[in-house]
Structure 1
Amino acid sequence: MTMKSLLLGAAAGIAAIGTAQAADLPMTKGEAVEYVKVCSAFGPGFFYIPGSDTCLKIGGEVRAKYYGFGGTGYNRNDNRSAFNTQARIWFDARTETDWGLLRSYFQINADSNKLKGRGGGDGSRNAFSIDKAFIQFGGLTAGYAHTFFGIYDNDYGDTLEASYYNSSQTVNLLAYTFDFGGGLQATLSFEDGRDHRVGSADYYGPVVIGANRYGYSQGGQQIPDVVAQIRWDQAWGGLAVQAAGHQSRSGENYTVDIGTPAVPNVVPVTVRRENKYGYAVGASGVIKIPSIDGWFVVEGQYADGALDYLGAGSTFLAQSDRYVNGLGRIDDGKGWSITAEFGARFTPQWQAVLVGSYIDTSYDNFGVGGGDLGIKEFTISGNLTYTIVKGLKVAGEVAYTHGKIDNGVIGNTGNPRVDGRDNYNNWLAGMRITRTF
């Protein structure tokens, strides 16, 4: 046998052995790969959570802000410029059921250093906050969501940092919306009244009566705020009317200072407890302008003992729903506010917005001698936004605020203001770069 024949025979034998061993191995099938499927039922960006019929959308935004502040009433402790970067992320999960749409929404915001211009000091650094967290099922809304009083702040509110005066709170609520078709809806909402309180503390309105100074103490919540709204949306725009009831309960005591401003001596004095009910009413209107892809919206409201619904917390000076008047009795603050916005998208890249807003609040018989305290403020602002590429925008804004105080007092003294702060003028200018994904 030649060497060639020997090699060929060995190779054939090895091949035969390999074939026999392969025949003895079990046959296996490749594992199935479950790919993420696009969910087109609720618009772009949704996908099916693997193994479920729930559609999820995850989105986010980064805002870099740079602002300068100016005007009267500043001192060396106040910030005249401020930087802030804010990151936002949200999760929107939706499922179609036999009983209607089941939705849950959650958004969290994180600020590197919150803007704080007029108040002085630093803003909150590395602050995390829940922006929204709610469940919707059919007409039910439950959780931490925007108040159902008004439509402007939630649907428009297109300023960057400039103030405007209307109901703008995110609150804990339980609401149901009845849909009558044709764009007509009615909502009844029970909202946490603590989220609708006005004032930096539960103590406001100290006045001097004789040798003593008195202040109002807020009690605990007994019943929630009740908000009702009727809304009609059409292709040309829409209309809405809304009303709210707000309970205020006095605390266990007034606080009475029987000392002097320099040497206070605050002591509690038991008084008759009171439950009072404030209210607010408002109306909104929207007109769409298709020729310039624009809109005009106006919203106004009146409140008595429920000043949060006016946007009173946005003003320069702290205010409160209730106070102790110059006669030592508990009284309600009252007032009205209005906001109007005109906006247009002149091209796919350019958007311009102009906003004007005014608030007028009064506290009857506030000071010693029966003087009525009045606080009025208006702000006008404009901003221009340019879309560089999809998802990236740069915007600039300027704003001017003027305020007037009638019969104001200095701190807790009850004395008329003589420090030149009966009128104030402030301005804001800045820019914001936004990346949305």
Structure 2
Amino acid sequence: MTMKSLLLGAAAGIAAIGTAQAADLPMTKGEAVEYVKVCSAFGPGFFYIPGSDTCLKIGGEIRADYRVFGGTGFSRDDNRSAFGTQGRIWFDARTETEWGLLRSYFQINASGRTASATGLGTQNKFEVDKAFIQFGGLTAGYAHSFFGFYDNDYGNTIWAPYYAESSTVNLLAYTAQFGGGFSATLSIEDGRDHRADNTFAPFQNANGDLVGYRRGGQQFPDVVGQLRLDQSWGGLAVQAAIHQNRSGENFSIDTDGDGIADTDVINPHKSKVGWAVGATALVKIPAIEEGHFIVEGQYANGATHYLGSGNTISGTSDYYLAPVGVFGQGKAGKGWSVVAELGGNITPVLNANLVGSYIDTKYDNAWGGGLDYGVKEYTIAGNLTYTIVKGLTVGLEVAYTREQTDNSLISAAEGETAAVFKDVKRNVWQAGVRLKRKF
């Protein structure tokens, strides 16, 4: 027998043994592949999270803004042109349960190189836009206030201000549905999110009296209620809110420059409840795709944040305190505001909106010595948005704002020098372009 015959015989033997052992091994299957499935129950873009009955939608957009400003009242520290970029991403998860829809929504915005008025201290800015849970009629978390619905459902300006409740707040709310499109909501909202301003530094008024205001801590939250009717032709809503105004601890300042704080108490303890009421009307225009006319108005006493007062050029507080012993103390700001919008798609790729808004606020004896403070402001804005391709748009907006401030504080006191007050009128216009990619 040759060496070649021996090698072939050995190989055949080993193969036979291997085959016999392999026959004794258990047969196994490959791991099952679970593919992502489309979820059509909640509209386009949702898919089932693998291994669950929860539907998820992930979306986002990039905004690139380019603006110019003009008008009166500008200083060398103010920008006359400004560029900005913002990225947004959101997650919408929904599950049908035997108790109703369970939903969670989260959105975060990231602004690139946000600049101060002078361009110093630029930085990237990340902020939570919304984060809330809905279960049946319950809404809990960081969501849009239930006072009005213009800002949340429409509010179709690109940059221009308008005067209405436009805040996302921490809240706990319940909405009851009664059929026929009628619903009622009771919402408990954090009052700290409904403050138009926080602190005024102390100074001397025209009479030499010390004036100042430091806001105190919150004792109870805001209470907001809304009745709403939604129909195919449009909708109606009425809403009301109560809001606490409370001063902080007393404080004093050194007015004579001797290094010792004077004993003048310029922040007397006050705690009062402000309120606001409003109404919204929406009419849909069937002759135009997404055509609509909506108007929302509100009146407030001691709760001017609900008027959109923080959106004015000057910005105003919910509350002013007169100095001790001067024509009383604790004067609440009051006023009214209105916003109206007409809009829709002129063509399938061209959308247009025209928005007008007005606010009138007054603060009796705000500075003491009988000096009332007041702000009247209106804004008119128009924009066109053209869809270049699906998901990519370019928008152009032009807006004009006029403000009149009565008894505006021009300069604070130094030592015994009293502050100066005068009526101020300002006109501001802005124009700009926004490129937006949405996915």
TM-score, normalised relative to structure 2: 0.90
- Give 1:323-402 correspondences, 5 Å limit: 323-325=320-322, 327=327, 329-402=329-402
Task: Identify the range of structure 1 (360-369 vs 393-402) with the bigger mean alpha-carbon deviation.
Answer: 360-369
Identify if the C-alpha distance between structure 1 residues 207 and 341 changes in structure 2 by more than 3 Å, giving closer, same or farther.
Answer: farther
Query: Contact (CA 8 Å) 1:253, 1:269: kept in 2 or not?
Result: yes
- Give 1:53-64 correspondences, 5 Å limit: 53-64=53-64
Distance 1:435 1:178 in 2: 37
- Offset at 1:207? 5.1
Do structure 1's residue 230 and structure 2's residue 227 form an aligned pair? yes
Do structure 1's residue 315 and structure 2's residue 312 form an aligned pair? yes
> What is the SS of the residue equivalent to 2:146?
coil
**Count of residue correspondences:** 427
Identify if the C-alpha distance between structure 1 residues 366 and 274 changes in structure 2 by more than 3 Å, giving closer, same or farther.
Answer: closer
Aligned partner letter, 1:410: I
Query: Contact (CA 8 Å) 2:206, 2:369: kept in 1 or not?
Result: no
> Equivalent residue for 2:3?
none
- Offset at 1:179? 0.4
Distance 1:33 1:218 in 2: 60
Aligned partner letter, 1:428: Q
> Equivalent residue for 1:32?
32
Identify if the C-alpha distance between structure 1 residues 204 and 137 changes in structure 2 by more than 3 Å, giving closer, same or farther.
Answer: farther
Aligned partner letter, 2:188: F
> What is the SS of the residue equivalent to 1:51?
coil
Distance 1:133 1:115 in 2: 26
- Give 1:22-421 correspondences, 5 Å limit: 23-114=23-114, 120-121=118-119, 125-199=123-197, 201-203=198-200, 208=205, 210-253=207-250, 255=252, 258-259=255-256, 269=265, 273-293=269-289, 294-325=291-322, 327=327, 329-413=329-413, 415-417=419-421
Aligned partner letter, 1:33: V
Distance 2:327 2:205 in 1: 9
Task: Identify the range of structure 1 (220-229 vs 19-28) with the bigger mean alpha-carbon deviation.
Answer: 19-28
> What is the SS of the residue equivalent to 2:130?
strand
Query: Contact (CA 8 Å) 2:207, 2:369: kept in 1 or not?
Result: no
Aligned partner letter, 2:271: N
Distance 1:172 1:306 in 2: 17
Identify if the C-alpha distance between structure 1 residues 324 and 15 changes in structure 2 by more than 3 Å, giving closer, same or farther.
Answer: closer
Identify if the C-alpha distance between structure 1 residues 379 and 124 changes in structure 2 by more than 3 Å, giving closer, same or farther.
Answer: farther
Query: Contact (CA 8 Å) 1:207, 1:324: kept in 2 or not?
Result: no
> What is the SS of the residue equivalent to 1:32?
coil
Task: Identify the range of structure 1 (359-368 vs 164-173) with the bigger mean alpha-carbon deviation.
Answer: 359-368
> What is the SS of the residue equivalent to 2:306?
helix
Aligned partner letter, 2:106: F
Identify if the C-alpha distance between structure 1 residues 196 and 259 changes in structure 2 by more than 3 Å, giving closer, same or farther.
Answer: farther
Query: Unpaired runs of 5+ in structure 2?
Result: 1-7
Distance 1:319 1:308 in 2: 8
Distance 2:372 2:207 in 1: 19
Identify if the C-alpha distance between structure 1 residues 436 and 115 changes in structure 2 by more than 3 Å, giving closer, same or farther.
Answer: farther
- Offset at 1:211? 3.4
Aligned partner letter, 1:345: N
Query: Contact (CA 8 Å) 2:391, 2:438: kept in 1 or not?
Result: yes
Identify if the C-alpha distance between structure 1 residues 29 and 126 changes in structure 2 by more than 3 Å, giving closer, same or farther.
Answer: same
TM-score, normalised relative to structure 1: 0.90
Query: Unpaired runs of 5+ in structure 1?
Result: 1-7
Distance 2:316 2:386 in 1: 37
> What is the SS of the residue equivalent to 1:153?
helix
Distance 2:231 2:148 in 1: 17
Identify if the C-alpha distance between structure 1 residues 268 and 365 changes in structure 2 by more than 3 Å, giving closer, same or farther.
Answer: closer
Aligned partner letter, 1:73: G
Identity fraction in percent? 63
- Offset at 1:324? 2.0
